[in-house]
């Protein structure tokens, strides 16, 4: 039989962290690193089970000002990721515009401050509006498949290229 799971709420109270486990009781810890052990010990003593078998999740309640800073930081990270993605799109557009004027990949690389190999990726790779371009988990991924006939046989190849950096 599985022991019940407990949820603890942890918040600062003066010099200590106050740990509340609903239906069990309250304990305290000097440092956050001690919270898990203190809460497990509390549950173990009150319910007469071994601390190792106690299933415990705990949540730290932060002051509103701190929470506001963290939420703003999260929004800024998301904005930065979107801006970085747009910058990569613009660098790719610049490379393609240079290629359309007849510049070689080496010259494009030199002009953009990247290697000629990277210039090739920028010029030849798909852009976000093209089919085959997928964005997963904050990382842009290009998925291509092509059929090639070799001696009458059909060969399927699949490649994944990271396209998140300029």
Query: Do 101 and 19 reside in the same domain of the chain?
Result: no
Are both 56 and 92 inside the same structural domain?
Answer: no
Look up the CATH number of the domain holding residue 30. 3.30.160.250
Q: Which residue, of 38, 61, 84, is where some domain finishes?
A: 61
Give me the residues of the chain with pLDDT under 70, please: 1, 127-166
Does 136 share its domain with 154? Answer: yes
Residue 143 burial class via C-beta count within 10 angstroms: exposed 0-12, middle 13-18, buried 19 and up: middle
Domain that residue 36 falls in: 5-61
pLDDT digits (tens, 9 = 90+) for 120-150: 999 998 766 555 555 555 544 443 333 333 3
User: How far is 69 from 72, CA to CA, in rounded Å?
Assistant: 5
Residues 147 and 89 in one domain: yes
Task: Check whether residue 42 and residue 100 sit in a common domain.
Answer: no
Same domain for 43 and 71: no
Is residue 94 domain-shared with residue 25, that is, in the same domain?
no
Please report, for residues 3, 30, 40, 96, the alpha-carbon distance to residue 52 in angstroms, rounded to integers and kept in the order given. Answer: 11, 21, 8, 60
H/E segment holding residue 21: strand 16-21
- What is the 3-class SS of 28-88, one letter each residue? EECCHHHHHHHHHHHHHHHHCCCHHHCEEEEEEECCHHHHHHHHHHHHHHHHHHHHHHHHH
In 10 A of CB 27, how many CB atoms?
22
Task: Based on the fold, state whether residues 100 and 23 are members of the same structural domain.
Answer: no
Sign of CA dihedral 139, 144, 145, 151: negative
Query: What is the rounded distance in angstroms from the CA atom of residue 28 to the CA atom of residue 155?
Result: 65
Domain count of the fold of the chain: 2
Whether residue 94 sits in one domain with residue 40: no
Q: Please identify, among 44, 61, 78, the residue that sits at the C-terminal boundary of a domain.
A: 61
Same domain, 47 and 93: no
Residue 57 and residue 81 share a domain? no
Which pLDDT value is given to residue 108? 96
Q: Please report the pLDDT score of residue 128 as a whole number.
A: 64
- pLDDT computed for residue 151 by the predictor: 36
Question: Are residues 131 and 91 located together in one domain of the fold?
Answer: yes
Instruction: Return contacts of 14-22, CB within 8 angstroms, 24+ apart.
Output: 19/58, 21/56
Q: What is the pLDDT of residue 131?
A: 54
């Amino acid at each position: 039989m599985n022991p019940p799971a407990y949820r603890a709420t942890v918040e600062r109270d003066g010099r200590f962290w106050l740990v509340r486990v609903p239906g069990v009781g309250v304990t305290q810890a000097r440092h956050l690193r001690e919270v898990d052990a203190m809460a497990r010990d509390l549950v173990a003593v009150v319910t007469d089970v071994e601390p190792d078998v106690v299933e415990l999740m705990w949540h730290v309640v932060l002051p509103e000002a701190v929470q506001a800073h963290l939420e703003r930081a999260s929004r800024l990270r998301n904005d930065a990721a979107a801006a970085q993605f747009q910058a990569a799109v613009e660098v790719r557009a610049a490379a393609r515009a240079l290629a359309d004027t007849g510049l070689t990949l080496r010259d494009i690389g030199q002009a953009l401050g990247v290697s000629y190999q990277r210039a090739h990726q920028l010029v030849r790779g798909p852009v976000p509006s093209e089919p085959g371009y997928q964005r997963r988990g904050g990382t842009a991924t290009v998925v291509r498949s092509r059929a090639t006939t070799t001696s009458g046989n059909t060969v399927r190849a699949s490649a994944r290229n990271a396209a998140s950096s300029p």
